[in-house]
Amino acid sequence: MKGPRRCAAGTMMVVVAITSRALWTTSAFTPARMQSTAKIIMGNMDATYRCNSLICRGTGRTSLLGMSTASSPTDVPEATAESDAPQKQKVRAERVLSGVQPTGSLHLGNYLGAIRQWVDFQNNEQKDDEGNVIPVEKFFCVVDLHAITMPHDPKELRESTLSSAALYIAAGIDPAKSNIFVQSHVPAHSELTWLLNCITPLNWLERMIQFKEKSKKQGESVGVGLLTYPCLMAADIILYQATKVPVGEDQRQHLEITRDIVRRFNDMFCKGNPYKKRCKEAGIPSRPVFIEPDAIIMKEGARVMSLTDGTKKMSKSDANDASRINVLDPPQTIRDKIKRCKTDSLEGIEWDNPERPEATNLLNIYLAVQPGRTKEDILEEVSEMSWGQFKPLLAEAVVNHLQPIQERYYEVRNDEEKLNRILKDGADAANAVAQQTLFASKIAMGFVTPTN
């Protein structure tokens, strides 16, 4: 079997097929309910393979996030004995899941490249080709399990986790419209990761560029979690039955190892009479448990580069705080960072010149924090300016854009009791979905599941 290629880690963003809305609950998911619900879910998955559904044909629609979304197989009508006439399909529901690590402060790149796109998706109705509104379930998580693959401070992890959740809300993620939760609050992420750890060849993991680079810095003290990081990311994706995963070009190979793991799992456990017997005893169809997700390469326009090197992405891991604008930076700090950021000595300001990456980056930021403006509009305003004239304009535009987010953040963060309630509600909803997939995977592997 061909192993995965190299890749680098990045923001997780996943689109998945949604199950019947009637199956959703925020109450305790008992083993008995899990088994009966799994029977319904897997039955719906079975229908997906039989019909000419979206998952079969791959004719996904494109959403505001640039992602192809999967339809719910529960809404696909089937021919009956009484009538073989085509029936009009109901509007199918969809699901979106995405998250950011709570390591350090969220910066402008996290906000513009991910969180603001989530907000746009949340607030804009998705419609099919006939103009029908598509119901969408939205899950946005703080991926704290990813954060502990490197040495961390417990106090900082706790604060960063709550801070990230508060920033999601401050930036516009509405708990009334979307589910916000912490990854570790859904135990199925960890449990499925262990199952995947046990079937993933060591040499697949050792080839990962992220492990090679970070293990060099830590030497023999490197944790096993860093090695098995790809299994955790794979669990995040397949736990929610993703069919399409929007990723940056530098993240494509993270998806490749997920596809390899899915293929290996299905080949090992989802074939033959013994598997059919286990499924029959559990009351679920004997279909492959996991779906191989496809990559949708996101446009690079959302990338925000470092203030000290226009060829590198703005990063929380950069030791130099001057390289990034943190969403919670005070106004004067933002002004100082932009004033001192790297530029060039050429006259005028121009866009998309590969020899002037810093100019392109600063113009991209200026455009991004002024919704409604165009490149042409921006260039007409600033092309003849010097850097000394342009930088103050950029600084004030960033400050003005972030100010209401900062004000809302402190309002949310200071009410920790309410914030924790929001996170619990989100985790309850995510758990209801995750347990269904985990149950099916354990049946496939031969585990004895509770019957009461």
pLDDT digits (tens, 9 = 90+) for 421-435: 999 999 999 999 899
337 is catalytic: no
Banded pLDDT at 299 (limits 50, 70, 90) = low
- Per residue in 342-359, pLDDT (tens digit) is 999 998 999 989 999 999
- Per residue in 243-257, pLDDT (tens digit) is 777 666 667 778 899
Beta bridge partners of 185: none
pTM above 0.85, yes or no: no
**Which percentage of the chain shows pLDDT scores above 70?**
76
The CATH superfamily assigned to 12-76+92-301+416-445 is HUPs (3.40.50.620)
Q: Is the separation of the CB atoms in 15 and 236 below 8 Å?
A: no
Q: Report the pLDDT value the prediction gives residue 128, as an integer from 0 to 100.
A: 78
Strands 242-247 and 294-297: parallel
217 is catalytic: no
- Judged against a pLDDT cut of 50, whether residue 61 lies above it is answered with no
Q: Report the pLDDT value the prediction gives residue 353, as an integer from 0 to 100.
A: 93
Of the candidates 313, 337, 391, 442, the residue annotated as catalytic is 313
Q: Report the pLDDT value the prediction gives residue 228, as an integer from 0 to 100.
A: 93
Q: Which of the following CATH numbers is that of domain 307-413: 3.90.1300.10, 3.40.50.1100, 1.10.240.10, 3.30.460.10?
A: 1.10.240.10
316 is catalytic: yes
- Average the pLDDT over 76-89 and give the result: 44
What are the start and end residues of each CATH 1.10.240.10 domain in the chain? 307-413
Helices 416-445/272-282 angle, 10° precision: 130
The enclosing H or E element of 297 equals strand 294-297
Q: Is the separation of the CB atoms in 137 and 18 below 8 Å?
A: yes
Average pLDDT, the chain: 80
Q: Report the pLDDT value the prediction gives residue 94, as an integer from 0 to 100.
A: 72
Of the candidates 316, 337, 391, 442, the residue annotated as catalytic is 316
- Judged against a pLDDT cut of 70, whether residue 54 lies above it is answered with no
What are the start and end residues of each CATH 3.40.50.620 domain in the chain? 12-76+92-301+416-445
Of the candidates 214, 337, 391, 442, the residue annotated as catalytic is 214
- Per residue in 275-284, pLDDT (tens digit) is 999 999 988 8
If phi > 0 it is left, if psi is from -120 to 50 it is alpha, else beta; for residue 223 that is beta
